[in-house]
Amino acid sequence: MLHLDDKISADQFGEQQARITTEIENLEYETTNAVEAQLQAGALSQRFEDVAELLTSLNVSDLWEHADESERRTLLDELLQDVTVHPDRLPVTQHGATTPTLHSPKSGSKTRS
């Protein structure tokens, strides 16, 4: 050992040992946090897949038919970002989707674009 061969002092050896111990503890802490984050991300990813599967199997027509007025309002609030009423068209913005515009049949335009 270096400190026994008088290459470094016992104080220097103690300081280096404390520094290395702190580094090891920090690395263990970071590793534990990284593993926990990966486990949480995996659980979140699985939950997302579960919800996506549920949504693909959901029959919106049946849901709408059996919903009361309050539940229908909630569905619209969750599905639509905004609706703007114009005399000849009705732009509808859905969350996370392109914006279709519904034209009035009176305007001579297509009913949907």
SS3 assignment for 11-50: HHHHHHHHHHHHHHHHHHHHHHHHHHHHHHHHHHHHHHHH
Q: What pLDDT was estimated at residue 100?
A: 64
Per the rule left: phi > 0, alpha: psi between -120 and 50, beta: everything else, 63 is alpha
Same domain? For 42 and 73 the reply is no
Q: Splitting the chain (113 residues) into consecutive groups of 10 residues, what average pLDDT does each group show?
A: 64 89 96 92 89 85 91 86 76 70 59 47
Look up residue 85 and give its two tokens.
């009423």
Residue 72 lies in a domain: yes
Residue 4 lies in a domain: no
Per the structure, the count of domains in the chain is: 2
Cβ(101)–Cβ(108) below 8 Å: no
d(CA 63, CA 47): 22
Domain residues for the domain of 29 are: 9-58
Q: What pLDDT was estimated at residue 113?
A: 47
Residue 63 lies in a domain: no
